[in-house]
Amino acid sequence: MTRPAAASQRFWQALPEALRAQLTLIVSPLLEIQPVPFDVDYQKYRAVIFTSAHGVAQAGQVPGPMPAYCVGERTTAAARAQGWDAQYMGQTADALVAALSCKVVDGPVLHLHGRHKRMNVSAALSQNSLSCQGITVYDQHLLPLSEAAQTSLATGKRHIVPLFSPRTAQQFAYECNTATNIFFIAMSEAVAEPLKSLDYMELQVSQAPDADAMAKLVSIAADRLA
């Protein structure tokens, strides 16, 4: 697992117990989330946008009743738990932009995001006549594969490697010396793209960009490698 430790453990624990019994977990985060100081007057905006639960965590105190348009069910749940009027707008940033482009929003909105992002949500919404400002509230620092992960991969044993973002996939491809014993599971075609240069055993792309669909592919991979 290459997500931050808490997210890796959450995905692992959500797998069926019988499936976990077949596998050995190695956690080697390739990203470390670091807060970025920022200053914002929420009163200038009519709503906020969260495309990640990391943005929710850095947003600070909720400034009274305010809509929060969210990508993903987990982000929506995190925002709601923090006191935002959280509204689920789809599983991807593209879906959020499409949904908000059809929605009447009275006033500017604020996107709280990471330094590295696949899509410029603010620019996309502004092109659709919705005033949106983006502020970086956290950074995603790249990390090398851990010694434990490198040692395990070097044994030649077959591994299942789920990857959830294009940036972590690119980092894994850079760090990985050999992939002939790896069954890759990519959350999307964009995540799969950096892996295609590797001589891997197999690469499967999730049918949906969510943890449930990724977990189904882990189960399929485990059955094939059994």
What would be the CATH architecture of the domain defined by 5-30+142-225? 3-Layer(aba) Sandwich (3.40)
Read off the pLDDT of each residue in 45-70 and give the average, rounded to a whole number.
Answer: 94
- At 106 the pLDDT is 82
Residues 6 or more apart in contact with residue 220 via CB below 8 angstroms: 204
In this prediction, residue 177 carries a pLDDT of 84
Q: How confident is the model at residue 160 (pLDDT cuts 50, 70, 90)?
A: very high
Segment 180-199 mean pLDDT: 96
Top-ranked range on mean pLDDT: pick from 64-68, 180-184, 208-212: 180-184
The string of pLDDT tens digits covering residues 66-120 is: 999 999 999 999 999 999 999 999 999 999 999 998 888 888 999 999 999 888 9
Answer whether 22's CB lies under 8 Å from 47's CB: no
What's the pLDDT at 35?
96
Region 24-48 average pLDDT = 95
Q: What is the mean pLDDT of residues 170-181?
A: 94
pLDDT at 226 > cutoff 90 = no
Q: Tell me: pLDDT of 170 over 90.
A: yes
pLDDT at 2: 96
Mean pLDDT of 169-176: 96
pLDDT at residue number 142: 96
38-140 fold: Rossmann fold (3.40.50)
Return residue ranges of the chain for CATH 3.40.50.10090.
5-30+142-225, 38-140
The candidate with the shortest Cα–Cα distance to 35, out of 62, 10, 53, 55, is 55
Q: What pLDDT is attached to residue 105?
A: 83
Residue 215 and residue 211: Cα distance in Å, rounded? 6
Give me the helices (H) in the chain, please. 5-14, 17-22, 53-58, 73-81, 93-101, 121-127, 147-154, 166-175, 189-192, 211-225
φ/ψ region of 132 (left if φ > 0, alpha if ψ in -120 to 50, else beta) reads: beta
Under 8 Å between Cβ of 62 and 82: yes
The neighbour count for residue 188, using CB atoms within 10 Å, is 18
